[in-house]
Amino acid sequence: MIKFSIVATAAAALALSPIPLAAQEEGNQRSDTELQADYVANSASRQLSGTFGGTRIDYTATVAETVLTNDKDEPAAAIVVTSYVAEPRDETRPVTFLFNGGPGSGSVWLQMGAFGPKRVAIPSDARDDGAPPYPILDNPDSLLDVTDLVFIDPVGTGFSHLIGDTEGTDYWGVTKDARSVAEVIRRWLSDNGRWNSPKFLGGESYGTTRSAAVVDQLEGGYNDVALNGVILISTVLDFGAGAETEGAELSYITTLPTMAATAHYHGKAGTDAASVAQFVEQARQFAIGPYASFLLKGQTASGEERAAIRADLARFTGLSERFLEAADLRVSSGRFYKELLRDRGLTVGRLDSRYTGVDYDSAGEYPDNDPSFYGIDGGYNAAVNHFMRETLGYDTDENYVAIGNVGPWDWNLEGGRDLNAYLNVTPYLGRALRENSGMRIFVGQGWYDFATPFFAAEYALTRTGIPQDRIEWRYYDSGHMMYIRDEDRQALSADVREFIIAR
């Protein structure tokens, strides 16, 4: 890499030259612009093999920077792409482009947890992952038997980074980010001769938002990259549906079924339902019916209606009627995490409410932290660094950013005031479905996910203008990262494999 070559040259010159150190250093100083102009992309590649979906596959694993340029044709950013391509190469094989969310998240989660050829083994039963070493195992649930895999780390995530004096704000925003990812996809297709391959796009969490925006970049003009399918895992498309802000009532409706699932899991719900799915369905019907009607009436609802709603809310949420009344029958997610198991001295997780944590004390409204995130991050960070650096031989001074700060993030969409008054990228998917008769959508959701509640995803994808006959729904007995639970990783893999094969 350039950084190393500069240091080596300077060291050799100092050993042979009588020129004073200060003068030598001054002569060797180079500006960001000079370094930018000479930038050389980094890469590493290995030949590997494994058994995936019951099929033995030889494949090439490649980690490589795709260098994006600015309007002066100067290197501006390096987006790291990790590709797993079956050998011998076959342009008729599908290729699936994947990324995570954040928007500051690297692709480590989907890559080392769900679909990559290797995975990190952490507890499957909602326990903390503890300290290293963490087992890095062959992943028979990888999708390499049915599709080549390309994991993308957008600027500021993973090993991807800015070059020279480029500003992060050039890439950090809903549309800016999608534009750069779409360019990387087009470049990969050209470099690998895959323009006529079946193509799938997939993301998790904000990665589903990114998926919709990238679909618009790929299919929204006249130079299309047509897609066979979009894979949405833990979906957030309509940000109004989950906005917890004063005066907004919709989030109380869309999070209620997740509260019901969580209360059911922890034995706090008053129910005789035989399964979480049955109890969730009862909560859906209550949320969209009597509860929605009550919320729309605001302070004009009658005392009798209020009492009936309060009793049903207590049954579904596991919270006391006294607490619910104090909250005006409107419980935010944060308050729920703290209150549900307060009598046990525990909080529940945001990403996965099966997880429980112990706060400094049991007072207060909100938990100290999310036990479902600090319960998994150590294992994933260790695994991705070890695998990329040691197994694949990727040599870099960059730190891997699993979750980083890519801000300020530009949330504005191109389209004017009214479009941005209600941030919703679902129409991008609706348009693509209407204009591409061969495209389908897979949606995978966990019952215990408060970050991207399943009912909010259902709300977003059942609006007008979205063909319903090409959307497939699957639900899992875990949370945001359902693949953490062994049974759900296997189920997710089987479901997505079937989705790809059915193209």
Give the start-to-end residue ranges of the domains of the chain.
2-30, 43-240+377-501, 250-374
Q: Are 383 and 121 in contact (CB under 8 A)?
A: no
In 160-231, where does DSSP find H-type helix? Answer: 174-191, 206-219
Q: State residue 127's pLDDT score.
A: 81
- Specify the pLDDT at position 75: 95
CB within 8 Å of 377: residues ≥ 6 apart: 129, 402, 403
Cα 232 from Cα 441, distance rounded (Å)? 7
As to burial, measured by CB atoms within 10 angstroms (0-12 exposed, 13-18 middle, 19+ buried), residue 345 is: exposed
Q: What per-residue confidence (pLDDT) applies to 372?
A: 86
**pLDDT at position 24:** 43
Tell me the residue type at 361. Answer: D
pLDDT of residue 35: 61
In angstroms, the CA 75 to CA 35 distance is 10
Residue 11: the pLDDT is 34
pLDDT attached to residue 41: 87
What pLDDT, on a 0 to 100 scale, did the predictor assign at position 19?
39
CATH topology assigned to domain 43-240+377-501: Rossmann fold (3.40.50)
What is the pLDDT at residue 8?
Answer: 33
- Show the CA angle centred on residue 189, arms to residues 186 and 195, nearest 5°: 105
Task: Give the pTM.
Answer: 0.91
Give residue 503's pLDDT: 76
CA–CA distance, 322 with 336 (Å, rounded to integer) = 14
From CA 356, how far away is CA 489, in angstroms rounded? 21
The answer to whether 36 touches 389, Cβ cutoff 8 Å, is no
Map residue 12 onto helix, strand or coil. helix
Per-residue confidence (pLDDT) for residue 10, from 0 to 100: 33
* Tokens 């509640």 sit on residue: 453
What is the per-residue pLDDT for 32? Answer: 61
What is the full per-residue pLDDT of the chain (503 aa) written as tens digits? 333 232 333 333 333 334 344 444 444 555 666 666 678 889 999 999 999 999 999 999 999 999 999 999 999 999 999 999 999 999 999 999 999 999 999 999 999 999 999 999 888 887 888 888 999 999 999 999 999 999 999 999 999 999 999 999 999 999 999 999 999 999 999 999 999 999 999 999 999 999 999 999 999 888 899 999 999 999 999 998 888 888 889 999 999 999 999 999 999 987 677 799 999 999 999 999 999 999 999 999 999 999 999 999 999 999 999 999 999 999 999 999 999 999 999 999 999 999 999 999 999 999 999 998 888 888 899 999 999 999 999 999 999 999 999 989 999 887 767 666 789 999 999 999 999 999 999 999 999 999 999 999 999 999 999 999 999 999 999 999 999 999 999 999 999 999 999 97
SS3 readout for 15-52: HHCCCCHHHHHHHHCCCHHHHHHCCCCCEEEEEEEEEE
Place of tokens 């240091």: 7
